[in-house]
Amino acid sequence: MCGVPLRVDASMLLLTALVTVLYAALARRQLDLGQLGGYLVALGFVISLLGSVLLHELGHALTARRYGIGVRGITLELLGGYTEMDRDAPSPRVDLLVSLAGPAVSAVLGAAGVAATLALPGGTLAHLLAFQLAVSNVVVAVFNSLPGLPLDGGRALRAAVWALTRDRHLGTEVAGWVGRAVALATLALVVLLTLRRAVAPLAVPLVLLVAVTLWRGAGQSIRMARIGRRLPLVDLARLARPVFPVPSGTPLAEAQRRRAEGVDPAAALAVADAAGRPVALVDPARADAVPPERRPWLAVDAVCRDLAGLPALPVGADGEHVLETLRTHPGAQYVVTAGEDVVGVLHIADLAQLLEPKRKTNT
């Protein structure tokens, strides 16, 4: 849509079913419809609601494109949707405009729904749908404007703190902690409404899921802010492990013994060709899975991966480049190169230890 790839997550089926069941009961009660009629009206409302969510996300996507930020796609899922962009906003102003574009679209749709509700005769199907669309869009606009990540209002708060302090990471962390407060407030509201029996029983799990998702999203934002502060420390020349080459056909046990007796026991084992150039890299996980008694009889080639099939990083790559490569090519090892020469191997566990020294990682 508008040149933006659209994906629909399977979890959207759960939301569709839940809203259809809840709204069908309301439609039957308000319009005196039969069982089938209630479900058809409810399904129509769900389709309209999904269209509103899509327009909300298109507001983000088209505004981002307006300021030169690439958009990878829009995903509709259980809790609404999200827009994936290929990079962060270049300035607080752009971050603010992109973040508020979605709620602005929802607010306009809500206002149109209110106008239609006032214009249509009461007690009709059109009046009921207009009223529910007005309410849902206003709720989406207001809720998304709350000042905590991962909500749109949290991105606006981040932009404001970023503009005041000139520190994007501080803005993200502040908005993340406020997001956690919003999650707790949402949870408290669910408990209160449940005790007062002011919310339908089927809606309680969905609202609880919203609170949990907000908490996790806020936590991820705080984590990424802390990682971002340490990105300047990434130096592949120092971080990459050296390569320890052995000839093709060397028993795995012998290759491991030679490495252990070498200068750096943590070096990356590689298979070299006749000219001594690395052509394949030993996969540590596959090597560790081989029983010790079999290692003297198994050639190291059996637990290798061709270097051509591994993602590569130039030795001069900065932290942002390294993280982008990790996002687009997930893996445990990355070949570090200087021109056509392999100068080392980056282990994801080593990078994680540098960026998150207090976080436990598997080595």
Tens digit of each residue's pLDDT (9 = 90 or more) over 308-341: 889 999 999 999 999 999 988 998 899 999 988 8
Mean pLDDT over 286-315 rounds to 94
Would you say residue 188 has pLDDT above 70?
Answer: yes
| C-alpha distances out from residue 231 to 109, 157, 176, 177, 352, Å | 41, 23, 19, 21, 11
- Beta partners for residue 334, in sequence order: 346
Name the range with the highest mean pLDDT among 22-26, 250-254, 261-265. 250-254
Of 242, 229, 251, 253, nearest to 345 (Cα)?
242
Backbone torsion region of residue 132, taken as left when φ is above 0, otherwise alpha when ψ lies between -120 and 50, otherwise beta: alpha
Q: In what order do the strands lie in the sheet with 312-314?
A: 312-314, 333-338, 341-347
Identify the pLDDT of residue 363.
46
Identify the pLDDT of residue 196.
82
Q: In what order do the strands lie in the sheet with 80-85?
A: 6-8, 71-77, 80-85
Identify the pLDDT of residue 247.
94
Identify the pLDDT of residue 202.
64
d(CA 308, CA 300): 18
At residue 302 the predicted structure's pLDDT band, cuts being 50, 70 and 90, is: very high
Does 92 sit behind a cis peptide bond, omega within 30 degrees of 0 on the bond before it?
Answer: no
d(CA 108, CA 133): 12
Whole-model pTM: value is 0.83
Which ranges of the chain would DSSP assign to H, the alpha helix?
A: 12-31, 35-66, 92-119, 125-144, 152-165, 168-195, 203-230, 236-239, 252-260, 284-289, 319-328, 348-355
At residue 206 the predicted structure's pLDDT band, cuts being 50, 70 and 90, is: confident
Mean pLDDT over 89-115 rounds to 95
DSSP state of 166: S
Would you say residue 1 has pLDDT above 70?
Answer: no
Identify the pLDDT of residue 11.
78
Mean pLDDT over 40-68 rounds to 89
At residue 14 the predicted structure's pLDDT band, cuts being 50, 70 and 90, is: confident
Of 227, 179, 215, 255, nearest to 326 (Cα)?
227
Identify the pLDDT of residue 190.
80
d(CA 75, CA 8): 6
Which of 158-172, 190-204, 226-240, 331-345 is the least confident region?
190-204
Would you say residue 276 has pLDDT above 50?
Answer: yes
d(CA 133, CA 94): 29
Query: For the segment 115-132, what is each residue's pLDDT rounded down to a tens digit?
Result: 999 999 987 888 888 888
Give the contacts of 28 (CB within 8 A, at least 6 positions apart). 34, 35, 37, 38
d(CA 157, CA 24): 38
At residue 360 the predicted structure's pLDDT band, cuts being 50, 70 and 90, is: low
Name the average pLDDT for the chain: 90
Query: For the segment 136-149, what is each residue's pLDDT rounded down to a tens digit?
Result: 899 889 989 999 99
Q: With the CA atoms of 257, 262, 268 and 270 taken in that order, what torsion angle do they form, in degrees rounded to the nearest 10?
A: -70
Above pLDDT 70, what percent of the chain?
97
Question: How large is the C-alpha radius of gyration of the chain?
Answer: 27
Structure tokens at 54: 């899509």
Q: Give me the sign of the Cα torsion angle 231, 235, 238, 239.
A: positive
Query: For the segment 155-172, what is each residue's pLDDT rounded down to a tens digit?
Result: 999 999 999 999 999 999
Question: How many beta carbons lie within 10 A of that of residue 338, not counting itself?
Answer: 13
Structure tokens at 193: 């409404």
Terminal CA-CA length for the chain: 43
Question: How many beta carbons lie within 10 A of that of residue 93, not counting itself?
Answer: 13
d(CA 11, CA 16): 9
**Contact assessment for residue 157 and residue 200, using Cβ atoms and an 8 Å cutoff:** no
